[in-house]
């Protein structure tokens, strides 16, 4: 038995959709979630810059004595997962591999679409993973810079969001994809809009359940599970506005959010510097 918490991080609140599945799948485990609201969004930033941020946060969580780190952000996973796995002493799980695997299994015509941030598309990590799993599969990727601000806005289900989804879906529909990866943790919040635009014959893939299962399997394989006969706790940190995080975060988590602690960016940088020393 290992009573240490699981560390989870994202650029903001989208990763709470992944945390939700972890809380359901692993109700006996403790979690600490850090949202980097001060530097949101990651999507338009260069991959090298996102890699720096991911390293800072991961090392900060490692200093909080977590037993596993879940990178609940597609952009950060694309930018930094291999480096984090090499550099940290705890297991690190990302969200891209489970989605790529699920998409390859779901597709019938081997034409897969990807909706993601610009940084995730630029990394080409999905394409490499899909081709590794099925060299004959085709991946068509579309960057969606308008979606995250709309989803976090006052009217996430409004006409502006529907119009943006139609624009981004058009090249994927033209390519004849039968499976679409929702390559950003924000996108499941508007899944009904996406499904209506793509139609019922297109399978939408979001890996929260698969990712939670991978976390559970990693804990079991490493022998670092918590006792199964308890109810776990969850704790929230943000580099942004705690009030905004709490208010909007409940939309993503679909569970109560109590106190949210503020973390200064300097504390993240200090943790990274101490780990590198």
pTM: 0.94
Residues 6+ apart with CB under 8 A from 211: 18, 21, 22, 70, 72, 93, 95, 98
Q: Which residue has the tokens 């297991």?
A: 91
22 belongs to the catalytic site: no
- Contact criterion met (CB below 8 Å) for 238 and 229: no
**Residue 215 phi, psi dihedral angles, 5° rounding:** -60, -45
SS3 content of the chain, % helix, strand, coil (to 5): 50, 15, 35
**Residue 72 phi, psi dihedral angles, 5° rounding:** -90, 45
Q: Which of 73, 80, 219, 268 is catalytic?
A: 73
- Contact criterion met (CB below 8 Å) for 47 and 18: no
In tens, the pLDDT along 55-77 reads: 999 999 999 999 999 999 999 99
Amino acid 262: pLDDT = 98
Give residue 152's pLDDT band: very low, low, confident or very high (50, 70, 90).
confident
Number of H helices, E strands in the chain: 12, 10
CA atoms within 13 A on the CB side of 83: 16
Amino acid 277: pLDDT = 75
Whether 247 shows a pLDDT value over 80: the answer reads yes
Whether 207 shows a pLDDT value over 80: the answer reads no
Q: Which of 78, 80, 143, 184 is catalytic?
A: 184
Q: Give the C-alpha separation, 203 to 205, whole Å.
A: 6
Q: How many residues does the chain have?
A: 277
Task: Quote the DSSP letter at residue 262.
Answer: E
């Amino acid at each position: 038995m290992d009573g240490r918490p699981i560390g989870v991080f994202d650029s903001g609140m989208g990763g709470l959709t992944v945390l939700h599945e972890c809380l359901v799948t692993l109700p006996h485990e403790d979690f600490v979630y850090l949202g980097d609201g001060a530097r949101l969004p990651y999507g338009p930033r260069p991959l090298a810059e996102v890699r720096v941020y991911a390293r800072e946060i991961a090392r900060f969580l490692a200093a909080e004595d977590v037993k596993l780190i879940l990178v609940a952000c597609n952009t950060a996973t694309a930018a930094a997962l291999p480096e984090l796995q090499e550099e940290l002493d705890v297991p690190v799980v990302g969200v891209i591999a489970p989605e790529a695997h699920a998409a390859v299994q779901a597709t019938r015509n081997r034409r897969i679409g990807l909706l993601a941030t610009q940084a995730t598309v630029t990394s080409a990590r999905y394409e490499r993973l899909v081709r590794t799993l099925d060299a004959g599969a085709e991946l068509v990727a579309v960057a969606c810079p308008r979606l995250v601000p709309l989803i976090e806005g006052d009217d996430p289900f409004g006409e502006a969001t529907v119009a943006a989804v139609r624009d981004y879906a058009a090249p994927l529909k033209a390519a004849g994809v039968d499976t679409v990866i929702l390559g950003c943790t924000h996108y499941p919040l508007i899944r009904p809009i996406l499904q209506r635009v793509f139609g019922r014959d297109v399978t939408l893939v979001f890996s929260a359940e698969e990712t939670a299962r991978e976390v559970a399997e990693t804990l079991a394989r490493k022998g670092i599970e918590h006792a199964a006969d308890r109810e776990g706790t969850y704790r929230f940190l943000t580099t942004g506005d705690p009030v905004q995080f709490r208010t909007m975060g409940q939309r993503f988590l679909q569970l109560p959010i109590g106190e949210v602690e503020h973390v200064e960016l300097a504390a993240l940088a200090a943790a990274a510097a101490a780990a590198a020393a």
